[in-house]
């Protein structure tokens, strides 16, 4: 796998060279229309070290430009996801130079009482510190199963993690700046750069309504699992707002705007991180004005033990366990089926460590006889909404697939 | 038959036998030479003169469209470094799409021609993709032919890469 990725990287470097050689000569890629400010970013690949910086080789790489990688479900077994196993979902190129003395966070906007800039040290020294376990899930986690398919990285199950975040409360900083009564929304800006190399282009700038921003668990964080945040996950500073699409939790954070209306940065509008306002048949083209922003993520669970493909000895029982989460809500129950959903066995379910942390569940299973079985897990949130066994409502960009996790086991 | 006649027959028989041995020897020698050449100088017998085959217009060489691809990097119709299916236009896809993003973003997606066109328009409107001009048609044809959607229903069968004893 490593070798393959490496050879792919080298190849892309070569193909970028070929493309630029072509520009000079044969005009195969329509050189006259190629924007002059577009840097040959493919050439940067030559300087990229092996694999994803700071990440385990065990991650499944979906995209290397920009880096996108997910965690195989069985590696999500620990209560807290290890830093090198947390998924990577980048929209652009992370910054490569970090001067922690000079890194600043500016708060401004039409609904801010003033414009104020904080150094990292000032944030650290002037505000109370808090630590929470927070579940971050990519809005497109599970996209790969939608039919007809949606464009984008074809995520499987592993675009999710629960890690231990430390920082200051976003609301403490916002209150220090001062909110006007018109404050309705916040938006973030980060130091990552656009894939096209165009430095004037903002990669992504999303946000949340002011109510979500003012929750206790909404953090401006500088540490994950007691260490600096991994470079691919937002070092040195990021927003963390659990339970919502992870794209609201801006990485490489440099600026927060306090808006008097819904934030309108790149990937807030159009079809991005939005679903139809009403259910549509699969494959429908939905006009932008009929789309709404995704807020709290739906209830979901994964089986982290055993790994799919387990062969169980005759008469043996085995533990089945995993995590469950439900956006802003708590999970009320988790059930497991070994007979394709005909009967369900209730699991032991732990409370969350804190609000917006995922919940551990487990049970013991005995397979009745020789044969092929599927383990299905289904969680139900505190409002009684459960995971569907088939794909949930189709949507144009393939978000919010919370269909129950299935894996295969056999009894010998 | 007189003794003289008998002698003539013997002489002829011996002559024939000698001829046969000579021919056989020549054949064996030729065979040995052939084997040596085949073993040590195989190019002597192979007709790989590319200058000549390049003039052959009756056979359309699929590599003409993919001149930049190294044939040793193609396995089972897949260009291994990029992961793309080898077909007309694959070189354009590599050179055009591969400039800005991973080609994995091509191979993992599926769409019909209209869907791929939408994706190109989206990249042009929001991601700084330039006007593809006349190459767009060839790129769309390649993508629609090789990365078309498959109806997989509301849930597909599970695939297990490796069974193991728990």
Q: Residue A209 sits in which domain range?
A: 104-293
Chain B nearest CA to A62, separation (Å):
7
Q: What is the pLDDT, as a whole number, of residue B38? A: 66
Domain-embedded: residue A72: yes
- Asked if the Cβ–Cβ distance from B135 to A22 is below 8 Å, we say no
Which structure tokens are listed for A296? 């709290």
Best probe of the B interface among A72, A149, A198, by most B CBs < 10 A, is: A149
Q: Based on the fold, state whether residues B11 and B66 are members of the same structural domain.
A: no
Q: Decide if B23 is inside a domain.
A: yes
Contact A409, A312 (CB under 8 A): yes
Crossing angle of helices B135-146/B90-97, nearest 10°? 110
Q: Does the beta-carbon distance from B163 to A410 stay under 8 Å?
A: yes
Encode chain A (412 residues) as per-residue pLDDT tens digits.
344 444 443 333 333 334 333 333 333 233 344 333 332 333 333 334 468 999 999 999 998 889 999 999 999 999 999 999 999 999 999 998 888 999 999 999 999 999 999 999 999 999 999 999 999 999 999 999 999 998 889 999 999 999 999 999 999 999 999 999 999 999 999 999 998 888 899 999 999 999 999 999 999 999 999 999 999 999 999 999 999 999 999 999 999 999 999 999 999 999 999 999 999 999 999 999 999 999 999 999 999 999 999 999 998 999 999 999 999 999 999 999 999 999 999 999 999 999 999 999 999 999 999 999 999 999 999 999 999 999 999 999 999 999 999 999 999 9
Which of A89, A112, A144 is the last residue before a domain boundary?
Answer: A89
Residues A144 and A264 grouped into a single domain:
yes
Residue from B65, B94, B98 whose CB has the most chain A CBs within 10 Å, to mutate: B98
B15 and B89 fall within a common domain: no
How many structural domains is chain B composed of?
2
CB contact under 8 A, A63 and B127: no
Both A305 and A265 in a single domain? no
Give the pTM. 0.76
Q: Percent of chain B, pLDDT > 90?
A: 40
In a domain, B52, yes or no: no
Same domain, A108 and A241: yes
- Bridge pairing between strands A359-366 and A317-325: antiparallel
E strand map for chain B: 74-75, 78-79, 84-85, 164-165
Q: Please judge whether A201 and B80 are an interchain contact, meaning their C-beta atoms are less than 8 angstroms apart.
A: no
Q: Are A78 and A141 within one domain? A: no
Give the residue, B42 or A147, on which the prediction is more confident. A147
Number of alpha carbons in the 13 Å side-chain half-sphere of residue A111? 21
The total number of residues shown for chain A amounts to 412
A309·B164 Cβ contact <8 A: yes
Tell me how far the alpha carbon of residue A156 is from its chain's centroid: 12
- What is the domain range of residue B24? 3-44
CA distance A119 to chain B (A): 32
Whether A246 and A317 map to the same domain: the answer is no
Name which of A30, A31, A142, A377 to mutate to probe chain B: the one with the most chain B Cβ atoms within 10 A of its Cβ.
A30
Q: Do A63 and B102 touch (CB under 8 A)?
A: yes
For residue A134, being part of any structural domain is answered with: yes
Domain boundary among A26, A54, A89: A89
Q: Are residues B114 and B142 in the same domain?
A: yes
Cβ within 8 Å of residue A251, ≥6 positions away: A90, A94, A190, A192, A233, A234, A238, A239
Query: Do the domain assignments include residue A312?
Result: yes
Q: Which residues of A touch B67 (CB under 8 A)?
A: none
Structure tokens at A385: 């909404």
**Do residue A275 and residue A335 come from a single domain?**
no
3-state secondary structure at position A265: coil
Note whether A205 and A341 are same-domain residues.
no
Q: Do A28 and B130 touch (CB under 8 A)?
A: no
- Per-residue tokens: A382: 């505190």
Per-residue confidence (pLDDT) for residue B1, from 0 to 100: 63
Tell whether A219 is covered by a domain.
Answer: yes
Asked, for residue A143, whether it belongs to a domain, the answer is yes
Q: How many CB pairs (< 8 A) connect A and B?
A: 149
More confident residue, B28 or B50: B28
Cβ contact (<8 Å) for B108 and A406? no
Sequence-ordered list of residues with C-beta below 8 angstroms from that of A291, at least 6 positions apart, any chain = A270, A271, A274, A275, A276, A277, A396
């Amino acid at each position: 796998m490593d070798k393959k990725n490496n050879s792919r990287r080298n190849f892309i470097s070569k193909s970028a060279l070929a493309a630029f050689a072509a520009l000079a000569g044969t005009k195969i890629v329509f050189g006259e229309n190629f924007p002059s400010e577009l840097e040959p970013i493919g050439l940067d690949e030559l300087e990229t070290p092996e694999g994803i910086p700071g990440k385990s080789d065990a991650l499944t790489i979906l995209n290397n430009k920009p880096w996108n990688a997910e965690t195989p479900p069985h590696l999500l077994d620990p209560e807290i996801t290890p830093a090198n196993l947390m998924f990577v979902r980048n929209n652009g190129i992370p910054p490569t130079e970090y001067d922690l003395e000079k890194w600043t966070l500016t708060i401004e906007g039409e609904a801010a009482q003033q414009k104020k800039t904080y150094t990292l040290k000032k944030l650290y020294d002037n505000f109370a510190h808090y630590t929470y376990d927070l579940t971050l899930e990519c809005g497109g986690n599970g996209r790969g199963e939608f039919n007809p398919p949606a464009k984008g990285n074809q995520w499987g199950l592993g675009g999710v993690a629960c890690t231990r975040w430390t920082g200051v409360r976003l609301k403490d900083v916002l209150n220090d700046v001062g909110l006007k009564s018109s404050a309705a929304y916040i938006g973030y800006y980060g130091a990552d750069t656009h894939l096209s190399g165009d430095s004037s282009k903002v990669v992504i700038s999303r946000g949340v309504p002011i109510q979500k921003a003012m929750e206790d668990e909404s953090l401006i964080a500088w540490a994950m699992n007691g260490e600096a945040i991994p470079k691919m996950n937002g070092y040195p500073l990021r927003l963390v707002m659990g339970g919502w699409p992870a794209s609201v939790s801006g990485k490489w954070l440099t600026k927060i705007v306090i808006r008097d209306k819904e934030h309108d940065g790149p990937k807030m509008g159009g079809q991005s991180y939005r679903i139809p306002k009403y259910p549509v048949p699969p494959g429908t083209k939905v006009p932008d004005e009929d789309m709404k922003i995704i807020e709290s993520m739906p209830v979901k669970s994964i089986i982290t033990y055993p790994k799919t493909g387990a062969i169980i000895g005759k008469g043996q029982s085995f533990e089945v366990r995993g995590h469950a989460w439900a956006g802003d809500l708590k999970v009320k129950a988790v059930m497991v089926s070994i007979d394709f959903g005909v009967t369900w066995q209730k699991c032991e379910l732990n409370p969350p460590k804190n609000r917006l942390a995922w919940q551990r569940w487990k049970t013991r299973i005995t397979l009745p006889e020789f044969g092929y079985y599927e383990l299905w897990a289904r969680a139900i949130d505190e409002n009684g909404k459960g995971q569907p066994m088939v794909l949930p409502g189709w949507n144009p960009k393939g978000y919010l697939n919370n269909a129950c996790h299935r894996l295969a086991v056999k009894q010998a | 038959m007189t003794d003289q006649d008998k002698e003539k027959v013997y002489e002829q028989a011996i002559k024939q036998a000698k001829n046969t041995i000579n021919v056989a020897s020549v054949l064996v020698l030729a065979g040995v030479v052939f084997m040596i050449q085949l073993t040590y100088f195989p190019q002597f017998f192979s007709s790989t003169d590319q200058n000549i085959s390049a003039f052959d217009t009756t056979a359309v060489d699929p590599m003409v469209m993919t001149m930049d691809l190294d044939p040793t990097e193609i396995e089972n119709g897949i260009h291994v470094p990029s992961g793309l299916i080898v077909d007309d236009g694959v070189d354009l896809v590599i050179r055009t799409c591969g400039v800005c993003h991973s080609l994995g973003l091509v191979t993992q997606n599926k769409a019909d021609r209209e869907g791929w066109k939408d994706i190109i328009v989206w990249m042009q409107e929001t991601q700084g993709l330039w006007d593809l001009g006349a190459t767009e048609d060839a790129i769309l044809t390649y993508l629609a032919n090789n990365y078309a959607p498959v109806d997989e229903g509301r849930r597909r069968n599970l695939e297990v890469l490796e069974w193991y004893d728990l």
